[in-house]
Structure 1
């Protein structure tokens, strides 16, 4: 994630106004040169799904937390090697890629260990006994490759103690050399080569020659001594031999690593307990995807967020208090809202946030595409109950008319189609389905220290509600426990009858009936949670709670 990327999000339990406002405002910001992404905080409902499909839009990306995860920041590229990669090859890769660490992966791309520049330096600057022990386990093929050599003969049995001897020409020949099981580096001296083999050399490496005499080969077969012709001089041959060691012999197997879904702030805390600078990052399949350093962590920021169709943190994304909050666009009450620094805040007395976003297009002289106009029209119809809600204003109606012209849509026909899809409540509805309908548009409110949850379910026929009232009451009682709520309410609102039936449960249930009259009866003209239920109930809580 780049630091200038902005997420435009609606509230939890998203409705059409929330989703459409996020999509439309993200589009508007992008047209103004910003990098904006529409987000959602949960599954979309049937009505919203219909609108998105009808007007050709994908669901916004799911945002689970405002805090940034490792998968959302720029990491160092996932430079890696195989277990049999030589130290020489690892060094070259590090130099080419300016890497300080290389992951060692198996054939399934799983992390076996890591090799760092410090590990390579230890081999060159540490005790020579370490190099001797490692060279003893190094395959002859890797030795030959590293010194640009060619294997002339490979013995059936490998007998190498890891020590290296360079045989120079001298009058005493090999009398003073103890070369049993050693790697012997010798020049173009057939007699010396043969004598080295007969004295028990484990591997003979010939330099400054491209030919091995037949009698030397015969001796090698008889004494089980491998022969390599080196492509470089004696000094570099002796140096590079120690670079032929495979990284699997020096890699760190006890690895401190992080998973891509870990939050940056948690990673920072874990880093404090270690001395490393760079760490592998693995995906959900434990495959390497990159490296994170202290530099990345220190420069990472939490998400840039714009809240639309809500302003209460309790209704927003998890971790919103740690986000870089840039702006709020809403038409609900302002409650318990504060920020550390100034932000843009637009709150209007209007029927939907989609109406505010539409106004902003006109204010900034940004053309609204035909399909986006249809989407915005659907959101205004949805939130304003096709202009029957008491929250609907003259401005909503005027903006909807303009959107209908741009989109070539008939508002009434669109409303009928939308509501017919979502407002059917079967009398034989299962308890699980009913719970889903109630929870789909449930919002949480703080009223004088009490936790109040209010759901609104729009239906056509109220008779279907009365037939399942016992089931509804049972569900609400269970929800008071599930959500630890003082009051849980569901309003079944009929567009046709222009009113609602309220059901409630919880220790504060009496305040619901004190506000709206008799229990479970039809309340005419009660259509809006935002403008009627919430403010009236809040007033009762303030007075009697």
Structure 2
């Protein structure tokens, strides 16, 4: 059974009620009529009006997402098993060969990464070991030696570590010569030579390895115990034993543990591609948010990666979209605004209608697909229409919007007038917000003829509140970081009087406003009777003035 692919349904940055409610409702529709797992998301903080609507209908706010670029967690992560730093080089090689892994992680019992080992590291270790004290230096346990040379412990404890001063010797010389080069703690590889074994014990050797499975005399065993000398028996000959014994070194001695290149599940592929290209590993360890190892990311995974799948609602301009939209796969766009600056790599389902609200389009899509609109969804869609059309007062409002809102109000069992007033009052409650929060509450960017400008808007039923807010907004705009915008505009809209005070800032902003509306402006604001819609009454005039 295939796992259902996640598809995020997202409105614009600084979302309004339509953007949030349409995303929730459209995700709900898609989950009923299409394959996949459709999840509503938001690209910014919800405003007071939207919060009131969600609370009123008992709906949770969509989860915030600030970037839709492909992350490590969106890519196929190989569940490569980990190994312990205690195992021998030989066992590590066998495991890597059997699993056909070129790189493996070395992980502690608590799940934290300690290092990585590659086939190249093991090959280098086998080719470059000229250090006869390697078993002592790497603190090798006798159990590792037993495992590597298929040995049996005749005398001693397998869990003890090879003596610190010991080197590896082959007892080929006669006992007279052996006396001169066997030292305390040494490991002597020998055959069935009583005199050599006795000499090693007398010279305080740490361990005697007896080859070819030769029996060890009781006298030697007794003397070895008394002198704390281990004895191991192996079926291999001297040559094979000498070749294998250095492979009993613990993996931890050769693993790479400094400057490891690891990635988090939250890392963006666009950020890590360069780092992966610089280091010629095939696989890189991936850690979760707590720093625990979860798998390996291979170069091949990047060739087969699956970008995040997105449906855009209530916008179609890149400047208004969530960050990383250029890396995502856009499947659909459902909108009621002018066509903007977005390009897609593949054909998409694009539905754009000249109505006052995206929620109107979503409602029609429920009906077209024969899907019943439940009470909760009807409440969200109706609220979105009332918000976007300023309760049918906006020039963007069409008879289609009004009819949809009235039908939805019946399903949701709400009184339009009463619900809209409470919603607007909640939305225009600005006492707990800073000028910056109010400014960006409903803010969009536009561009024409190389001129970039941003337009914010707040609607209220209370003219006194709007009058008090105007100088604060003007002051904020004069000190705000304009980023890449040449001019800033802010509409303070009175829903009851159906008019707006426009505050502006930026070089040539005053001249542009006067040209667009054909009336004289004060130093930083102008009163615009009858103007309530940013989309239909304000932005087109500004764009026209810019082009002229």
Contact 2:111 2:293 in 1 (8 A): yes
Answer yes or no: is 1:112 the counterpart of 2:114: yes
Q: How does 1:71-90 map to 2 (within 5 A)?
A: 71-77=73-79, 79-90=81-92
Which shifted more, 296-305 or 351-360?
Answer: 296-305
Distance 1:504 1:114 in 2: 59
2:509 counterpart residue number = 509
Contact 1:159 1:202 in 2 (8 A): no
Which shifted more, 385-394 or 138-147?
Answer: 138-147
Q: How does 1:206-355 map to 2 (within 5 A)?
A: 215-228=219-232, 233-234=235-236, 241-260=245-264, 261-283=266-288, 286-355=291-360
Contact 1:204 1:225 in 2 (8 A): yes
Q: How does 1:429-448 map to 2 (within 5 A)?
A: 433-448=434-449
Which shifted more, 436-445 or 484-493?
Answer: 484-493
Distance apart, 1:271 and its partner CA: 2.9
Distance 1:16 1:389 in 2: 15
Distance 1:450 1:92 in 2: 65
2:207 counterpart residue number = 203
Q: How does 1:496-535 map to 2 (within 5 A)?
A: 496-510=496-510, 511-516=512-517, 517=519, 518-519=521-522, 520=525, 522-535=527-540
The structure-2 alpha-carbon separation of the partners of 1:239 and 1:19, relative to structure 1 and needing over 3 Å to count, comes to farther
Contact 1:135 1:242 in 2 (8 A): no
Contact 1:7 1:38 in 2 (8 A): yes
Distance 1:148 1:369 in 2: 74
Q: TM-score, normalised by structure 1?
A: 0.85
2:41 counterpart residue number = 39
Secondary structure at the counterpart of residue 332 of structure 1: coil
Partner deviation per Cα, 1:70-114 (whole Å, 9 max, x = no partner) = 232221125323433333453455456553322224566443321
Partner deviation per Cα, 1:146-170 (whole Å, 9 max, x = no partner) = 3575584358992554426489xxx
Distance apart, 1:247 and its partner CA: 1.3
Contact 1:123 1:130 in 2 (8 A): no
The structure-2 alpha-carbon separation of the partners of 1:282 and 1:131, relative to structure 1 and needing over 3 Å to count, comes to farther
1:486 counterpart residue number = 486
Which shifted more, 24-33 or 514-523?
Answer: 514-523
Distance 2:164 2:468 in 1: 89
Secondary structure at the counterpart of residue 138 of structure 2: coil
Which shifted more, 194-203 or 413-422?
Answer: 194-203
2:455 counterpart residue number = 454
Distance 1:57 1:210 in 2: 80
Answer yes or no: is 1:411 the counterpart of 2:411: no
Distance 2:306 2:131 in 1: 44
Contact 1:448 1:542 in 2 (8 A): yes
2:50 counterpart residue number = 48
Distance 2:133 2:299 in 1: 35
The structure-2 alpha-carbon separation of the partners of 1:239 and 1:59, relative to structure 1 and needing over 3 Å to count, comes to farther
Contact 2:13 2:43 in 1 (8 A): yes
Contact 1:80 1:104 in 2 (8 A): yes
Secondary structure at the counterpart of residue 526 of structure 1: coil
Contact 1:185 1:205 in 2 (8 A): yes
Among candidates 422, 427, 440, match of residue 427 of structure 2 = 422
Distance apart, 1:67 and its partner CA: 2.4
The structure-2 alpha-carbon separation of the partners of 1:69 and 1:462, relative to structure 1 and needing over 3 Å to count, comes to same
Distance 1:130 1:21 in 2: 70
The structure-2 alpha-carbon separation of the partners of 1:179 and 1:369, relative to structure 1 and needing over 3 Å to count, comes to farther
Contact 1:491 1:503 in 2 (8 A): yes
Which shifted more, 503-512 or 210-219?
Answer: 210-219
The structure-2 alpha-carbon separation of the partners of 1:134 and 1:58, relative to structure 1 and needing over 3 Å to count, comes to farther
Structure 2's unaligned 5+ residue stretches are: none
Among candidates 356, 363, 375, match of residue 358 of structure 1 = 363
2:140 counterpart residue number = 139
CA RMSD of aligned residues (A): 3.5
Which shifted more, 288-297 or 406-415?
Answer: 406-415
1:474 counterpart residue number = 475
The structure-2 alpha-carbon separation of the partners of 1:46 and 1:424, relative to structure 1 and needing over 3 Å to count, comes to closer
Structure 1's unaligned 5+ residue stretches are: none
Distance 2:390 2:490 in 1: 17
Secondary structure at the counterpart of residue 114 of structure 1: strand
Aligned residues: 530
Secondary structure at the counterpart of residue 501 of structure 2: strand
Q: How does 1:56-71 map to 2 (within 5 A)?
A: 56-71=58-73
Distance apart, 1:443 and its partner CA: 0.7
Which shifted more, 248-257 or 200-209?
Answer: 200-209
Distance 2:352 2:389 in 1: 17
Answer yes or no: is 1:6 the counterpart of 2:11: no
Contact 1:157 1:224 in 2 (8 A): no
1:153 counterpart residue number = 156
The structure-2 alpha-carbon separation of the partners of 1:383 and 1:157, relative to structure 1 and needing over 3 Å to count, comes to closer
Distance 1:3 1:311 in 2: 26
